[in-house]
């Protein structure tokens, strides 16, 4: 290159840089790397932040408590759980997961805002900090929040200085503040948004679809802006990024623009067709582009009517839903999109179409995925209002924060088509008393004010009380938690003309564990602290799935259910709240590792109408039970089936309406155990054999089988492959009771992240590369690095052939 051309080249490359800076009128920087973390309290907040000792390097999202160790004394609660109808206080261990989340910790990060001098607006956005965060910038406190589940932000434009800025976040978790494992620390994203003064306000767009038909949709876009003399150009693009329509407006109502756009022949959003459009909002001042924001939305119509229940795009749709806690099992609460996507993939296969975020604000990532994958969403705000459930619960903040928390929930999430209902509370003790009534009204009014398009419910358990007080009558949607025996009465007495099973079942089971004799029971306990997978055990206040199914199927006015819960979660180990070791729930349809329990197939055969389900239980390795009664259950979408034990027929069972169980399950109650083969042949309505399944008694555990959910993952340092590890005998028959201790090693462009076996009584730490199989299985998580390439997981165990699987990552 000559001197002249070199000079020109430099000028040109400078032009490119300048141009890029100018064109980037809004930048969003997610602060993931470079965080320092330390635990411990100090009375001198300034000193802690600038004392350089004892910081540990972490990435955010981060959950400081998930690494354990489990300890029965953490947050030990000596209480009577009133929701569980307990009258006397007893010692509860494991209620909040027995993980070390109590206490205070600090996070610190240093960042620079390059265009700071140019007078930009800088927003610091937090999507969730557990809990009671205090935010400091360069040593000065700039704000705080209380609720660990809220999204919140601060305008830090005036607090920033040129060059390096030091951000510090203090998080504190008091004891007796939660009924489950809440996690600890900055467990959701933090971002820095830099934009011009003339720009769209944070969460300033609100897109609704007030008119929807096959031919035409009216899309209403309300946009809140800062600045004057603005021209707002709003453009809709379809899912292929093709232009659909544009509206330009200079008509500003104070801070707001209100535009209507026509979409002809719209593609409607639904769980089956999760079609997404985008709105691009551009702010111009004197023809100069000042801000640009892209927001995804869906065109769909929702109605709730006494005559037809919930209508989605004109079609009666029942909620086939599950409640989910926010923890991601072995990852704790640190948000991870791959983990969320896997949960939803499992739920899709089961045929679920809805999620309730119990009992708090969902992550934004979860909502994005629900929009994309097609799930209806019931977004909940609180588990407590003003009357306490927990000594240090949300009631301490209710007066000052309830409105702010709801406003932020609605503003941050209202453009997600998946959200079709809000819930202002779950089983709040305020169901009792006149004040509670006023609070219910006030909160519902706030939701209505902020979002007139979606109804509000409360998950209610005090059905008699809310019938008398009128509490339930004022709600848009009547949400009942359990209490199936009161549905009819509630339907008669309340004005809404429909009932939602806002929480149903709470059946308990441990994957692969079966108890004898097989009889239905409430609050059953066993010496091994496991519950039976015959799916006949519930709590004193709850019921088995079939009892809900009867109401869902026979009553048009029941608009669906949200089963407690889709997955096991950390904490709340009912029915073993008083026993140690027991640190996670038994309620899940799938276990804590995401492995389906038998119950999964009971729901699948109802909900997944597209695929065949033919599932047989229990396993057939019962050495010592020879000759003893060992009932066989089959969960299938077929009407009848014949059972064969070692080739001998045990007769045909046909679904019938004698009891809720015989209506939904095929059961052979008097089968005597003998080792060998269990075969089931299913028949269609015409009595023709159409499908069969076989399970066999396994011999000694011999080899490991590794099955990754995804073999190719993204090289972003966050993506995960979930590798299911199981063990089989020499003939390849799965060993259903194996508990071998296994070791894991990952080499190449990946790292071992965590493992989980779904055993609620295991005290093994998830992040250590060693764990026992539970009922013959566990799951290992392999995480990508930022470098693309191959990675190899090796799993070994004493007396077993070592197994390997090669995975790869791509940019």
List residues near ligand GAL by CB under 6 A.
83, 359, 426-427, 461, 481, 503, 506, 539, 542, 564, 572, 574
Shortest Å distance, C-beta 84 to ligand GAL: 8
Q: For this structure, is 492 an active site residue?
A: no
| Residue 428: its H or E element | none
- Taking residue 6's Cβ as centre, other Cβ atoms within 10 Å add up to 10
Residue 83 or 252: which CB sits closer to ligand GAL?
Answer: 83
Residue 134 or 430: which CB sits closer to ligand GAL?
Answer: 430
- Smallest CA-to-CA distance from 510 within 574, 584, 591 is with 591
**Centroid of chain to Cα 789:** 30
Shortest Å distance, C-beta 300 to ligand GAL: 28
Shortest Å distance, C-beta 68 to ligand GAL: 23
Shortest Å distance, C-beta 389 to ligand GAL: 10
Shortest Å distance, C-beta 336 to ligand GAL: 23
Contact 571, 62 (CB under 8 A): no
Residue with tokens 């200079």: 250
**Catalytically annotated residue among 503, 537, 547, 764:** 503
CA distances from 768 to 568, 725, 743, 748, 781 (A): 21, 16, 9, 18, 11
Q: What contacts 581, CB < 8 A, 6 or more positions away?
A: 70, 72, 93, 94, 98, 529, 761, 762, 763
d(CA 539, CA 506): 7
Q: For this structure, is 112 an active site residue?
A: no
d(CA 362, CA 378): 9
d(CA 220, CA 314): 20
Residue 490 or 695: which CB sits closer to ligand GAL?
Answer: 490
d(CA 397, CA 70): 29
Residue 490 or 754: which CB sits closer to ligand GAL?
Answer: 490
d(CA 583, CA 71): 9
d(CA 706, CA 709): 10
Residue 180 or 664: which CB sits closer to ligand GAL?
Answer: 180
Shortest Å distance, C-beta 538 to ligand GAL: 8
Residue with tokens 């890029």: 20
Contact 252, 225 (CB under 8 A): yes
**Centroid of chain to Cα 788:** 29
Shortest Å distance, C-beta 286 to ligand GAL: 55
Shortest Å distance, C-beta 418 to ligand GAL: 22
Residue 212 or 361: which CB sits closer to ligand GAL?
Answer: 361
Residue nearest ligand GAL, Cβ-based: 506
Residue 586 Ramachandran class (φ > 0 left, ψ -120 to 50 alpha, else beta): alpha
CA angle 275, 281, 287 (to 5 degrees): 150
- Taking residue 420's Cβ as centre, other Cβ atoms within 10 Å add up to 22
- Smallest CA-to-CA distance from 265 within 210, 221, 301, 213 is with 213
d(CA 786, CA 12): 31
Shortest Å distance, C-beta 329 to ligand GAL: 17
Residue 182 or 374: which CB sits closer to ligand GAL?
Answer: 182
Residue 574 or 808: which CB sits closer to ligand GAL?
Answer: 574
Shortest Å distance, C-beta 574 to ligand GAL: 6
d(CA 271, CA 370): 9
d(CA 179, CA 186): 20
Residue 389 or 515: which CB sits closer to ligand GAL?
Answer: 389
Residue 70 or 562: which CB sits closer to ligand GAL?
Answer: 562
Give the SS3 label for residue 20: helix
CA angle 117, 119, 122 (to 5 degrees): 100
380, two tokens:
């909940």
**Catalytically annotated residue among 134, 384, 427, 537:** 427
Bridge pairing between strands 456-460 and 199-212: unpaired
- Smallest CA-to-CA distance from 450 within 418, 405, 417 is with 405
d(CA 342, CA 709): 8
- Residues designated as active site: 427, 503
């Amino acid at each position: 290159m000559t001197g002249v051309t070199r000079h020109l080249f430099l000028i040109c490359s400078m032009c490119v840089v300048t141009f890029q800076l100018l064109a980037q009128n809004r930048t969003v920087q997610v602060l993931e790397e470079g965080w320092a973390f330390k635990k411990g309290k100090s009375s001198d907040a300034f000193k802690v932040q600038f004392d350089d000792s004892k910081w540990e390097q972490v990435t955010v999202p981060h959950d400081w408590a998930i690494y354990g160790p489990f300890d029965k004394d953490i947050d030990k609660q000596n209480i009577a759980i009133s929701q569980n109808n307990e009258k006397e206080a007893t010692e509860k261990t494991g209620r909040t997961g027995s993980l070390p989340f109590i206490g205070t910790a600090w996070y610190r990060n240093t960042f620079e805002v390059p265009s700071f001098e140019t007078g930009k607006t800088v927003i610091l956005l937090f999507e969730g900090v557990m809990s009671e965060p205090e935010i400091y910038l360069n040593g000065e406190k700039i704000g705080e929040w209380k609720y660990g589940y809220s999204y919140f932000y601060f305008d830090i434009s005036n607090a920033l200085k040129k060059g390096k800025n030091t951000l510090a976040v203090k998080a504190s978790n008091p004891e007796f503040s939660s009924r489950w494992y809440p996690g600890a620390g900055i467990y959701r994203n933090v971002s820095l948004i830099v934009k011009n003064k003339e720009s769209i306000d944070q969460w300033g767009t609100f897109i609704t679809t007030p008119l929807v038909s096959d031919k035409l949709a009216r899309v209403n876009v309300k946009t809140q802006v800062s600045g004057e003399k603005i021209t707002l150009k709003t453009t809709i693009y379809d899912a292929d990024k093709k232009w659909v329509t544009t509206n330009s407006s200079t008509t500003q109502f104070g801070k707001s623009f209100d535009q209507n756009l026509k979409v002809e022949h719209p593609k409607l959003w639904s769980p089956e067709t999760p079609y997404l459009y985008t709105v691009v909002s551009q702010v111009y001042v004197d023809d100069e582009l000042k801000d640009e924001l892209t927001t995804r939305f869906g065109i769909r119509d929702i109605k709730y009517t006494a005559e037809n229940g919930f209508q989605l795009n004109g079609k009666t749709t029942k909620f086939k839903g599950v409640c989910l806690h926010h923890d991601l099992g072995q990852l704790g609460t640190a948000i991870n999109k791959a983990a969320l996507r896997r949960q939803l993939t499992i739920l899709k296969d089961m045929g679920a179409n809805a999620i309730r975020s119990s009992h708090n604000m969902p992550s934004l990532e979860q909502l994005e995925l629900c929009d994309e994958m097609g799930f209806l969403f019931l977004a909940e705000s609180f588990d407590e209002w003003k009357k306490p459930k927990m000594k240090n619960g949300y009631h301490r903040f209710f007066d000052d924060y309830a409105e702010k928390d709801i406003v932020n929930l609605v503003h941050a999430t209202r453009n997600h088509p998946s959200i079709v209902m809000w819930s202002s509370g779950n089983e709040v003790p305020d169901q009792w008393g006149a004040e509670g009534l006023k609070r219910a009204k006030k909160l519902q009014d706030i939701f209505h004010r902020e979002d007139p398009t979606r109804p509000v419910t409360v998950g209610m358990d005090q059905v008699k009380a809310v019938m008398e007080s009128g509490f339930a009558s004022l709600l848009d949607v009547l949400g009942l938690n359990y209490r199936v025996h009161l549905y009819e009465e509630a339907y008669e007495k309340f004005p809404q003309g429909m009932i939602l099973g806002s929480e149903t079942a709470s059946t308990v089971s441990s994957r692969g564990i079966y108890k004898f004799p097989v009889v239905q029971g409430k609050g059953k306990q066993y010496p091994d602290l496991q519950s039976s997978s015959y799916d006949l055990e519930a709590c004193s206040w709850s019921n088995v799935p079939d009892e809900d199914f009867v109401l869902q199927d026979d009553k048009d006015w029941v608009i669906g259910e949200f089963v407690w819960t889709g997955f096991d979660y950390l904490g709340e180990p009912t029915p073993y709240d008083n026993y140690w070791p027991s640190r996670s729930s038994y309620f899940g349809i799938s276990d804590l590792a995401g492995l389906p329990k038998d119950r999964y197939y009971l729901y699948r055969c109802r909900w997944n109408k597209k695929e065949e389900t033919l599932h047989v239980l229990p396993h057939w390795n019962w050495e010592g039970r020879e000759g003893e009664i060992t009932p066989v259950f089959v969960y299938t979408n077929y009407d009848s089936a014949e059972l064969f034990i070692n080739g001998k027929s045990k007769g045909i069972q046909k679904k019938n309406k004698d009891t809720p169980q015989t209506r939904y399950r095929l059961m052979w109650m008097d089968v005597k155990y003998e080792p060998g083969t269990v075969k089931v042949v299913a028949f269609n309505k015409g009595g023709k054999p159409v499908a069969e399944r076989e399970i066999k008694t396994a011999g000694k555990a011999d080899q490991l089988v590794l099955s990754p959910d995804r073999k190719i993952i993204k090289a972003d340092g966050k993506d995960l492959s979930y590798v299911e590890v199981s063990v089989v005998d020499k003939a390849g028959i799965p060993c259903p009771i194996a508990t071998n201790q296994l070791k894991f090693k990952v080499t190449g462009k990946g790292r071992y992240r965590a493992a989980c076996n779904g055993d609620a009584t295991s005290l093994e730490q998830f992040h250590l590369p060693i764990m026992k199989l539970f009922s013959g299985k566990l799951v290992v998580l392999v995480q990508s690095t930022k470098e693309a390439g191959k990675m190899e997981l090796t799993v070994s165990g004493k007396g077993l052939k070592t197994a390997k699987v090669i995975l790869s990552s791509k940019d």
